[in-house]
Structure 1
Amino acid sequence: MGRSPCCEKAHTNKGAWTKEEDQRLVAYVRAHGEGCWRSLPKAAGLLRCGKSCRLRWINYLRPDLKRGNFTADEDDLIIKLHSLLGNKWSLIAARLPGRTDNEIKNYWNTHIRRKLIGRGIDPVTHRPIGHPPGANVTISFQPQATPQPMVIKPPRCPDLNLDLCISPPCQEEEELKPVKWELLQGGHGLCFG
């Protein structure tokens, strides 16, 4: 027993969205907010699938979306994040305000990947093609005043703040115990006592 289909396929428009459909979707979301995408098409008077409405809003109509070409800074950030996170496009998009995960993925596959290969960099490992695995390289698309040869730098910690944190597991109120810092043989330790 699965979930029912999101729409009746027989009575939905497919293909390019019209300006009128875009206006109806934008007006509905402005008036009612993002919510149940399955019921939105009928409520907004659209002959579209809920999934189609959601994707149209997220990827094209949201007012906070950036339009236009990616900057050199965005290119560099995408490369750094990809070297850390791999193909986790939604995590990368979270660090690039106004850009969608789909847009970044497409940009990676059509532009950045090719540029890296053209410069002799493996787009999967982010290392020079044919160099030993221990070698590390800084990659940038920022314009340089004078052309400089590729410099292989020793590995270092990335300079990105991903705002990650780790905390103790949640406990019931009667189980909560005060947290105390204690000196443990010359080092610091966290004691739940």
Structure 2
Amino acid sequence: MGRSPCCEKAHTNKGTWTREEDERLIAYIQAHGEGCWRSLPKAAGLLRCGKSCRLRWINYLRPDLKRGNFTREEDELIIKLHSILGNRWSLIAARLPGRTDNEIKNYWNSHIKRKLLSKGIDPFTHGPIIIDSDKKIIDGFGCKFQKNPVEKNLTELNLELSIGPPSQHPLESKEKKVCFYCSLGLENSKDCRCGRSRSSSSTTADFLRMEL
């Protein structure tokens, strides 16, 4: 079973707060304190949700709120606290008097984060940005490049190529070409031009001499 709503939305005002509503809220809190936000709207005579009253008071009507731009000291403190606490804006706001968590969060996303990125600092880790693809390291003061070792080895290879006729295999060079008549089995034909008929006849004669 969920938590019951703090008010009936059908009977509450929405949108921009009027000057009269601000004055009623300020007068009630100055007289009675913040108290319980669920019962405050009815006690103060406001047709507003308790959450709306709380946010209006904390973010706009508190007398101790700081107005104007953030100082350089506040910027440095926010960066230091964010490196320790992360996105815990309420804890960061507790260490910056007069600043709200919502105000600090908006200021971080709109200003400080871009400032860190422009210096090469990761706004999440607060360290230098490292890009693994080409080992590019940005340290906020300049860029350092580390050459990819694979690319370095490729540049050192000697890739000179020579174009020429294919070399003849030694076995192919020893084999003699066969003429048309020898391919038909007519080695002893008088028209044979590859010399196989003469070589075969001389080989036969030598064999006969050996037998004699």
Shorter-chain TM-score tier: 0.5 to 0.7
Q: Structure 1 CA distance, aligned partners of 2:82 and 2:33? A: 32
Unaligned runs of 5+ in 1: 140-148, 151-193
Greater RCO structure (CA 8 Å; 6+ sep): 1
Between structures 1 and 2, the one with greater strand share: 1
Task: Give the counterpart letter for 2:15 in structure 1.
Answer: G
Q: Deviations over 1:63-87 (max 9, x none)?
A: 1111110000000000011011111
* 1:63 match: 63
Task: Give the counterpart letter for 1:44 in structure 2.
Answer: A
After TM superposition, the runs of 4+ consecutive aligned structure 1 residues lying more than 6 A away are none
Q: Deviations over 1:77-136 (max 9, x none)?
A: 00011011111111111111110111111100110001111111110011111289xx9x
Aligned residues: 137
* 1:107 match: 107
* 2:120 match: 120
Question: TM-score w.r.t. structure 2 length?
Answer: 0.61
Shift of 1:43: 1.1
Task: Give the counterpart letter for 1:31 in structure 2.
Answer: A
> % of aligned pairs identical?
81
| Mapping 1:1-193, distance limit 5 Å | 1-130=1-130, 149=141
Q: Structure 2 CA distance, aligned partners of 1:77 and 1:131? A: 28
Q: Structure 2 CA distance, aligned partners of 1:36 and 1:76? A: 35
Q: Structure 2 CA distance, aligned partners of 1:114 and 1:36? A: 39
SS at the partner of 1:23? helix
Shift of 1:3: 2.7
Q: Deviations over 1:11-41 (max 9, x none)?
A: 1111111111000000000011010111111
Q: Structure 1 CA distance, aligned partners of 2:36 and 2:85? A: 31
Q: Structure 1 CA distance, aligned partners of 2:130 and 2:124? A: 13
Quote the RMSD (CA, aligned, Å): 1.9
Q: Structure 2 CA distance, aligned partners of 1:130 and 1:3? A: 46
Larger radius of gyration: 2
SS at the partner of 1:130? strand
